[in-house]
């Protein structure tokens, strides 16, 4: 006997319908995952500890539907295992299906009465009166006929125990699910009968005719977003091309509102022959009945939207809001065809639409047409590609995944628009961040770390810092990570030493490292565009500037701006001279740099903390040394003293030595901070040492080794204008003793005079041996320099011993997260992700920085 086949859409809401004891629960258990089945008995138990307690049904169903709603939010097939024999009960199921835009399916178990009675009598837990079984039996019989009318899209009736034992459930893909089609696609906007332009565009995209049908030699597929006809001069020809391409598998298509209206006409319904429909009808009538029938069948078979490429791409005529993607219902179809309308009409008599794209936060790229504009409008991961060809604009295609726009201009204006074409999303004002995306717990996926959580209080702190101090978020495409020092050294007299930095990488499987001199300045990120037009177009910067220098917390480095403008101009001059812009095929660049002098940004700190400490220390210690020297000079006459005095005797000579040591520490400390201070009289006095070329148009340079960065910086940025200086570096092979020694020697040399030290990095920009992300860099600071971190006297053995006990875990954990976020935000920006997606990462870095961590690390 053939299996009784039940076909279910992969995502739907299933209602089991059947009398008590008809075997619903066993059926559900057999054919569905336990998590897919929501049983009323289970929820009765959950609210009352008794699965059979009928008095708590209302509460139980509340909870059941709450759970069902959440599952459907997450697009999970859900089975409601309850009797569902009352129409009211089914109404609730259907209502939920409607709200969730999902098909409702009824599976009816219509078992013989004798069997029901027999099973009921055998049930120990719940023995119902026979009249209940009788009633259930009749109710089920009676409802079957009306189920489709009630609103169940599919109804399956299992009317015998034999059939019940012989069932096959097939889950079918939703019609809109073309996730396994990966393209590449050429998505083509509203054509409206502009066949000449369509042919030109297809040719421009590389399509050629084979057997009279357009095809792409590399197997690209066209994707039409609807509105093939009306208003233009060759409506039927367009339909011919589209139908042929779709049939041949060279294209996919979704319908537009004009196509659907035409279908209505072809179905013999009465329609207003306005908005150019009359032209189409005239052409079709001329083509004859066969063609009309073909068009009718074609449009009738179109699905209102498609989800493509693993869910990364969605096409629909008028776009689709996030909650509707991948769902099917009348509401979804309406949205796809007409967009979201308020029911009001504007001064041109056109329907007022809600701006769904403004609220769109989905990860899928939504490409649509419907609203004619002068240019392609990009907003929050949505592209509107209707560029009003028929109104004399142009016909546009979006290449996917390249996100490249290809268009041909209209040969003429075929139709007068009712109102002027929409302007591009108003970039003169720039796009605006919405607070609702940030003032909450954030969960960010980055390509280096799968998930980074930001707690609500940290987000609140970041919101404050961003709002009060940060530069325009459009510029903040990257915030640098914090950097951990190496583990403390085991050597006497050193808190940090290169051996520990080398060992960190060596022990984790990285043999080759790069040591870069650590300039004692302030971290500065530079974003520079070739001109302010680029800044407006690419960054949405509206104040006419073309670049920025900002600190590691996203604050503009220079108030006032004159120094900033001049430094950026000088950088541009250098990059132009070295042909950087052309060689890198870009009109903007983002650099990670160190800006000196330190005193420029740390002025406040130096003058309120560092210098006063040195001043107070040197002053009072010099006096103490002098006083002790006087004592020692005259202290050759030791006396017997009364034993009643309270203090212990102490040797003044020893005291003198001790205080000379302290004084010496303070002198060295003062020298250490002085090293990094100089007075800036003009822009010439600044020094900028770039160490990463982070990104430029189309590329993030995280795949290039550090040596590449250093050498390209040498080639393109440094050595011309003295402001831009090279960072000395040294490669070390951690397996080669000599090489390691060379690294140590180099560090000793760098730090002898108070140098800050060096940064040790793995050879590659990101190191993930065995899938575990390593610190992108660890710093190893100089012995003298550390006096300005741990205090002038930190090298005194009793102090050093205590300082060596320190934990780096928190710092390192933060460094990894912040690094991942920084790289993610760059790649999102380069990928043209919407502003809020880029901002999310910078925002998260600031949020992480609000975590308390030992500031000396």
Give residues 556-585 in contact with other proteins (rule: CB under 8 A): 556
Nearer to other proteins among residue 350 and residue 432 (C-beta): 432
Residue selected from 57, 488, 511, 542 as contacting other proteins according to rule CB under 8 A: 542
Q: Minimal CA–CA distance to 448: which of 118, 176, 764?
A: 764
Instruction: Count residues binding other proteins (CB under 8 A).
Output: 79
Q: Interface with other proteins includes 850 (CB under 8 A)?
A: no
Part in contact with other proteins (CB under 8 A); list of ranges 467-475, 480-488, 772-780, 812-820: 467-475
Report the run of H or E that residue 673 belongs to, with start and end: helix 652-674
Nearer to other proteins among residue 212 and residue 560 (C-beta): 560
Q: Are the C-beta atoms of residues 497 and 743 closer than 8 Å to each other?
A: no
Q: Which of residues 780-799 bind other proteins (CB under 8 A)?
A: 788-794, 799
Nearer to other proteins among residue 171 and residue 440 (C-beta): 440
Q: Are the C-beta atoms of residues 452 and 405 closer than 8 Å to each other?
A: no
For the CB of residue 622, give the shortest distance to other proteins in the complex, in Å: 9
Q: Which of residues 257-316 bind other proteins (CB under 8 A)?
A: none
Nearer to other proteins among residue 11 and residue 836 (C-beta): 836
For the CB of residue 216, give the shortest distance to other proteins in the complex, in Å: 42
Q: Minimal CA–CA distance to 114: which of 126, 102, 122, 124?
A: 122
For the CB of residue 749, give the shortest distance to other proteins in the complex, in Å: 24
For the CB of residue 488, give the shortest distance to other proteins in the complex, in Å: 15
For the CB of residue 653, give the shortest distance to other proteins in the complex, in Å: 9
User: Contacts from 405-414 at CB under 8 Å and sequence distance 24+?
Assistant: 405/376, 406/186, 406/201, 406/204, 406/205, 407/201, 408/197, 408/200, 408/201, 408/204, 409/197, 410/194, 410/197, 411/194, 411/196, 411/197, 414/192, 414/193, 414/194, 414/231, 414/232, 414/233, 414/390
Q: Are the C-beta atoms of residues 513 and 777 closer than 8 Å to each other?
A: no
Q: Interface with other proteins includes 363 (CB under 8 A)?
A: no
Residue selected from 148, 562, 802, 831 as contacting other proteins according to rule CB under 8 A: 802
Calculate the alpha carbon distances from 757 to 5, 137, 517, 638, 773 in Å. 73, 86, 6, 49, 24
Nearer to other proteins among residue 95 and residue 457 (C-beta): 457
Question: How many residues are there in the chain?
Answer: 857
Q: Are the C-beta atoms of residues 437 and 443 closer than 8 Å to each other?
A: no
Q: Interface with other proteins includes 19 (CB under 8 A)?
A: no
Q: Are the C-beta atoms of residues 345 and 419 closer than 8 Å to each other?
A: no
Give per-residue burial for 317-345: e unless 16+ CB within 10 Å, then b: bbbbbbebbbbbbeebbbbbbbbbeeeee
Write the interaction track for other proteins spanning residues 597-636; mark x where CB under 8 A is met and - where it is not. Answer: ---------xx-xxxxxxxxx-xxx-xx-xxx-xx--xx-
Q: Are the C-beta atoms of residues 516 and 763 closer than 8 Å to each other?
A: no
Cα gap 421→374, rounded to integer Å: 6
For the CB of residue 586, give the shortest distance to other proteins in the complex, in Å: 24
Nearer to other proteins among residue 263 and residue 548 (C-beta): 548
Q: Interface with other proteins includes 466 (CB under 8 A)?
A: yes
β-bridge partners, 26:
none
Q: Interface with other proteins includes 88 (CB under 8 A)?
A: no
> For residue 124, what are its two tokens?
């120990």
Residue selected from 249, 288, 450, 647 as contacting other proteins according to rule CB under 8 A: 647
For the CB of residue 654, give the shortest distance to other proteins in the complex, in Å: 9
For the CB of residue 492, give the shortest distance to other proteins in the complex, in Å: 18
Cα gap 351→357, rounded to integer Å: 17
Q: Interface with other proteins includes 438 (CB under 8 A)?
A: yes
Residue with tokens 């500890």: 49
Q: Interface with other proteins includes 666 (CB under 8 A)?
A: yes
Q: Interface with other proteins includes 803 (CB under 8 A)?
A: yes
Report the run of H or E that residue 30 belongs to, with start and end: helix 24-31
Range list of H helices, 584-647: 598-605, 611-634
Cα gap 770→660, rounded to integer Å: 53
Range list of H helices, 717-769: 737-752
Q: Interface with other proteins includes 470 (CB under 8 A)?
A: yes
Nearer to other proteins among residue 312 and residue 658 (C-beta): 658
Q: Interface with other proteins includes 529 (CB under 8 A)?
A: no
Cα angle value 331/337/338 (rounded, 5°): 85
Nearer to other proteins among residue 462 and residue 499 (C-beta): 462
Residue with tokens 């935000």: 825
Handedness of CA 694, 699, 700, 704 (dihedral sign): negative
- 785: burial class by Cβ within 10 Å (0-12, 13-18, 19+)? buried
Q: Which of residues 667-726 bind other proteins (CB under 8 A)?
A: 670, 674, 677, 679
Q: Interface with other proteins includes 655 (CB under 8 A)?
A: yes
Cα gap 405→831, rounded to integer Å: 14
Nearer to other proteins among residue 35 and residue 630 (C-beta): 630
Residue selected from 645, 738, 807, 809 as contacting other proteins according to rule CB under 8 A: 645
Nearer to other proteins among residue 131 and residue 639 (C-beta): 639
For the CB of residue 558, give the shortest distance to other proteins in the complex, in Å: 12
Nearer to other proteins among residue 115 and residue 461 (C-beta): 461
Q: Interface with other proteins includes 451 (CB under 8 A)?
A: no
Part in contact with other proteins (CB under 8 A); list of ranges 114-122, 527-535, 666-674, 825-833: 666-674
Q: Interface with other proteins includes 439 (CB under 8 A)?
A: yes
Nearer to other proteins among residue 80 and residue 666 (C-beta): 666
Q: Strand 341-345 relative to strand 208-210: parallel, antiparallel, unpaired?
A: unpaired
Angle at which helices 809-830 and 835-849 cross, to 10°: 170
For the CB of residue 540, give the shortest distance to other proteins in the complex, in Å: 11
Q: Which of residues 395-434 bind other proteins (CB under 8 A)?
A: 429-430, 432-434
Nearer to other proteins among residue 114 and residue 644 (C-beta): 644
Nearer to other proteins among residue 481 and residue 617 (C-beta): 617
> For residue 452, what are its two tokens?
């980074």
- 211: burial class by Cβ within 10 Å (0-12, 13-18, 19+)? exposed
Q: Which of residues 735-754 bind other proteins (CB under 8 A)?
A: none
Q: Interface with other proteins includes 495 (CB under 8 A)?
A: no
For the CB of residue 432, give the shortest distance to other proteins in the complex, in Å: 5
Nearer to other proteins among residue 58 and residue 429 (C-beta): 429
Residue with tokens 């899938």: 771
For the CB of residue 562, give the shortest distance to other proteins in the complex, in Å: 14
Cα gap 609→595, rounded to integer Å: 21
- The CA radius of gyration of the chain, in Å to the nearest whole number, is 37
CA torsion 661-666-671-677 (nearest 10°) is 170
Q: Interface with other proteins includes 652 (CB under 8 A)?
A: yes
Residue selected from 46, 463, 744, 773 as contacting other proteins according to rule CB under 8 A: 463
Residue selected from 145, 349, 638, 738 as contacting other proteins according to rule CB under 8 A: 638
Q: Interface with other proteins includes 52 (CB under 8 A)?
A: no
Cα gap 552→845, rounded to integer Å: 10
Nearer to other proteins among residue 293 and residue 616 (C-beta): 616
Q: Interface with other proteins includes 805 (CB under 8 A)?
A: no
For the CB of residue 599, give the shortest distance to other proteins in the complex, in Å: 8
For the CB of residue 601, give the shortest distance to other proteins in the complex, in Å: 15
Residue selected from 355, 651, 711, 736 as contacting other proteins according to rule CB under 8 A: 651
């Amino acid at each position: 006997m053939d299996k009784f086949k039940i076909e279910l859409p992969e995502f739907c809401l299933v209602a089991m319908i059947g009398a008590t004891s008809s075997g619903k629960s066993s059926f559900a258990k057999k054919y569905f995952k336990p998590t897919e089945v929501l049983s009323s008995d289970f929820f009765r138990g959950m609210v009352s500890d008794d699965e059979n307690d009928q008095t708590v049904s209302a509460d139980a169903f509340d909870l059941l539907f709450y759970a069902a709603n959440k599952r459907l939010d997450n697009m999970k097939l859900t089975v409601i295992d309850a009797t569902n024999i009352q129409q009211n009960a089914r109404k609730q199921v259907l209502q939920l299906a409607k709200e969730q835009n999902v098909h409702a399916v009824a599976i009816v178990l219509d078992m013989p009465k004798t069997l029901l009675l027999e099973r009921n009598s055998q049930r120990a837990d719940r023995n119902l009166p026979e009249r209940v079984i009788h009633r259930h039996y009749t109710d089920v019989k009676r409802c079957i006929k009306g189920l489709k009318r009630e609103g169940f899209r599919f109804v399956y009736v299992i009317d015998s125990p034999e059939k019940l034992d012989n069932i096959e459930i097939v889950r079918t893909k939703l019609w809109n699910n073309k996730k396994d089609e990966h393209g590449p696609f050429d998505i083509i906007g509203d054509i409206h009968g502009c066949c000449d332009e369509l042919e030109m565009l297809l040719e421009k995209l590389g399509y050629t005719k084979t057997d009279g049908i357009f095809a792409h030699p590399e197997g690209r597929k066209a994707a039409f977003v609807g509105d093939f006809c009306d208003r233009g001069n060759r409506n039927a020809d367009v339909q011919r091309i589209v139908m042929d391409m779709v049939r041949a598998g060279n294209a996919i298509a979704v319908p537009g509102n004009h196509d659907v209206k035409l279908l209505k006409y072809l179905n013999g319904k009465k329609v207003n022959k306005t908005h150019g429909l009359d032209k189409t009808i005239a052409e079709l009538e001329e083509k004859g009945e066969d063609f009309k029938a073909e068009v009718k069948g074609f449009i009738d078979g179109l699905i209102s939207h498609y989800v493509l490429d693993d869910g990364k791409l969605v096409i629909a005529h008028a776009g689709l809001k996030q909650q509707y993607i991948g769902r099917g219902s009348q509401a979804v179809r309406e949205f796809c065809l007409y967009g979201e309308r308020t029911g009001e009409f504007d001064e041109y008599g056109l329907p007022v639409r809600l701006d769904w794209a403004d609220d769109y936060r989905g990860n899928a790229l939504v490409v649509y047409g419907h609203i004619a504009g002068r240019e392609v409008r990009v907003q929050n991961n949505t592209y509107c590609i209707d560029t009003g060809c028929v109104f004399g604009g142009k016909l546009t295609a979006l290449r996917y995944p390249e996100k490249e726009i290809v268009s041909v201009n209209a040969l003429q204006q075929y139709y007068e628009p009712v109102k002027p074409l929409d302007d591009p999303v108003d970039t003169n004002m720039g796009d605006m961040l919405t607070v609702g995306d940030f003032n909450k717990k954030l969960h960010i996926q980055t390509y280096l770390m799968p998930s980074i959580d930001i707690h609500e209080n940290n987000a609140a702190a970041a919101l404050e810092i961003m709002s009060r101090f940060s530069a325009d978020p459009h510029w903040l495409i990257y915030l640098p990570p914090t950097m951990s020092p190496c583990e403390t050294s085991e050597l006497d007299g050193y808190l940090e030493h290169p051996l520990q930095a080398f060992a960190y990488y060596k022990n984790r499987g990285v043999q080759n490292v790069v040591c870069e001199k650590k300039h004692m300045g302030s971290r500065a990120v530079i974003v520079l565009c070739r001109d302010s037009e680029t800044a407006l177009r690419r960054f949405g910067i509206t104040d006419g500037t073309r670049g920025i220098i900002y600190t590691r917390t996203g604050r503009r480095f220079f108030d006032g701006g004159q120094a900033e403008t001049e430094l950026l101009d000088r950088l541009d001059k250098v990059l132009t001279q070295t042909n950087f812009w052309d060689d890198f095929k870009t009109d903007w660049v983002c650099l990670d740099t160190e800006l000196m002098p330190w005193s420029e940004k740390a002025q406040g700190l130096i003058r309120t903390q560092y210098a006063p400490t040195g001043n107070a220390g040197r002053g009072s210690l010099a006096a103490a040394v002098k006083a002790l020297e006087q004592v020692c000079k005259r202290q050759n006459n030791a006396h017997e003293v009364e034993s009643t005095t309270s203090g212990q005797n102490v040797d003044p000579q020893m005291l003198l030595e001790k205080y000379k040591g302290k004084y010496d520490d303070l002198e060295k400390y003062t020298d250490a901070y002085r090293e990094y201070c100089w007075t800036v009289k003009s822009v010439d006095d600044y020094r900028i040492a770039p160490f990463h070329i982070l990104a430029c148009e189309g590329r993030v340079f995280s795949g290039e080794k550090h040596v590449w960065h250093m050498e390209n910086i040498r080639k393109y940025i440094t050595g011309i204008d003295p402001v831009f200086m090279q960072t000395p570096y040294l490669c070390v092979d951690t397996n080669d003793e000599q090489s390691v020694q060379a690294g140590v020697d180099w560090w000793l040399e760098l730090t002898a005079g108070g140098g800050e030290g060096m940064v040790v990095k793995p050879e590659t920009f990101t190191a993930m041996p065995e899938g575990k992300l390593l610190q992108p860099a660890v710093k190893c600071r100089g012995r003298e320099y550390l006096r300005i971190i741990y205090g002038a006297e930190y090298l005194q053995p009793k102090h050093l011993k205590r300082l060596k006990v320190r934990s780096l875990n928190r710092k390192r954990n933060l460094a990894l997260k912040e690094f991942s976020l920084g790289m993610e935000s760059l790649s999102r920006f380069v990928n043209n992700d919407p502003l809020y997606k880029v901002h999310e990462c910078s925002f998260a870095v600031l949020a992480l920085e609000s975590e308390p961590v030992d500031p000396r690390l």
